[in-house]
Every structure is written in structure tokens, then in C-alpha cells.
């Protein structure tokens, strides 16, 4: 477990006693390490404790911190982009995609009721939109297009289910909606 940062008042109280005992040349770095704070916090608190820094040094530290944060964001984005394709087989019926464990043999019936209801609602809305735009019911190819649209929404939502299971579950529901519309 990492260091835990003290509350500001306790930290300042301890720092008053620590500063005279510090033997190094880089007090900002020492303060950051001793009290587990970031650079801007360390700089601000040392100034509150009466330490004076050259204005050029303060500007350099602040611009360095901005540059460090920008690099950190870029590294995170690169990691996300690189991890987007990482698929690793784990066991007989599981794969790990972007650090998330997925069951490859998951069934439609294993979805939570709330998830199924959400999917059904989206299918119903897309079905209605298709009928309104085309003045006909979705059959064969248009049914597959409808399934693809809903599948994209399901992926966006983060609900994972193998494609063939999703197609079966959605396909049956579209057929039911078509039969209702025929009556």
C-alpha cells in the first residue's frame, strides 16, 4: 500500500519542524517525497511556510508540471489505443479483451433482465423507425441491418454477448414485432 497524504494542517505543522533538519539541496523534491504531495502543492505550501523562490524558478516548475501532465495524458491515450486490440485467450470459455474478462460461450438467457429489456426497447424503436421510413417490415437483409444497428448500440453500452447469441435473441424479437404488425 502506498503512502497516504496527511491533511494540510498536519502536514504544515510537521513541515515547520522538518525544514530546519533538511540537509539536501533540492527542498522542493524533498518536500514532495517526504509528504507525498504533487509539485504545485509542495511549491505552494513551502511558500506558505516562508520559503522564497526565484520567480523564474517558479515559472519553470509550473511549465514543467504542465508538460509532465500533458505527457501523462498522451501516454494514457497511447495505452488505450494500443490496448484496443489486445485479446488473450484465458481458459476454455474466456478471453481477456482490454483487461476485461469475457465469457465466449455466454447465452442470451444469461443477460440480466434489465439488459434484455434495454435491448428489446432499442430493437422496438429501431423497428418502428425502419417501418416509418420504408413503409414496409424488415425482412432478410433489412433485418440483418437492423440487428447490426442494435448490436452497435449494445457494444457502446458495454453489454457483451457473442454475435450469434445476440442475433438469435434480437432476430426472434424482430420476427415477433413483424407478426404483430401484420395483424
Say how many CA atoms lie within 13 Å of 57 toward its Cβ: 10
Question: Is the domain of 74 the same as that of 106?
Answer: no
Question: Is the domain of 65 the same as that of 113?
Answer: no
115 pLDDT tier (thresholds 50, 70, 90): very high
- Angstrom distance (rounded) from CA 116 to CA 124: 12
Strand spans (E) along 8-166? 87-89, 94-97, 100-103
- Angstrom distance (rounded) from CA 178 to CA 101: 36
Q: Is the CB of residue 13 less than 8 Å from the CB of residue 43?
A: no
Whether residue 27 lies inside any domain: the answer is yes
* pLDDT tens figures, 27-85: 989 998 989 888 888 999 999 989 888 999 889 888 988 998 899 888 888 776 665 55
pLDDT for the residue numbered 140: 87
Question: Is the domain of 33 the same as that of 72?
Answer: yes
Question: Is the domain of 132 the same as that of 78?
Answer: no
Whether residue 171 lies inside any domain: the answer is yes
Of 83, 112, 143, which residue is a domain's last?
83
Q: Is residue 100 pLDDT above 70, yes or no?
A: yes
Q: Is the CB of residue 34 less than 8 Å from the CB of residue 24?
A: no
Range of the domain at 43: 8-83
Number of domains in the chain: 2
Question: Is the domain of 20 the same as that of 69?
Answer: yes
Whether residue 1 lies inside any domain: the answer is no
Amino acid at each position: 500500500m502506498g503512502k497516504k497524504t496527511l491533511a494540510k494542517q498536519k502536514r504544515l505543522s510537521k513541515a515547520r519542524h522538518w525544514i530546519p533538519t533538511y540537509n539536501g539541496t533540492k527542498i522542493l523534491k524533498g518536500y514532495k517525497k517526504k509528504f507525498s504531495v504533487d509539485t504545485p502543492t509542495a511549491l505552494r505550501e513551502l511558500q506558505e511556510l516562508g520559503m522564497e523562490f526565484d520567480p523564474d524558478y517558479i515559472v519553470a516548475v509550473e511549465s514543467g508540471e504542465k508538460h509532465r501532465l500533458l505527457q501523462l495524458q498522451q501516454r494514457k491515450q497511447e495505452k488505450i489505443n494500443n490496448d484496443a486490440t489486445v485479446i488473450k485467450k484465458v481458459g476454455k470459455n474466456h478471453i481477456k479483451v482490454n483487461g476485461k474478462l469475457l465469457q465466449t460461450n455466454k447465452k442470451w438467457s444469461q443477460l440480466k433482465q434489465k439488459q434484455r429489456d434495454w435491448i428489446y426497447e432499442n430493437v422496438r424503436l429501431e423497428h418502428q423507425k425502419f417501418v416509418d421510413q420504408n413503409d414496409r417490415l424488415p425482412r432478410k437483409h433489412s433485418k440483418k441491418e437492423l440487428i447490426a444497428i442494435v448490436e452497435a448500440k449494445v457494444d457502446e453500452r458495454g453489454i457483451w454477448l457473442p454475435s450469434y447469441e445476440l442475433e438469435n435473441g434480437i432476430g426472434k424479437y424482430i420476427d415477433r414485432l413483424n407478426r404483430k404488425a401484420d395483424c
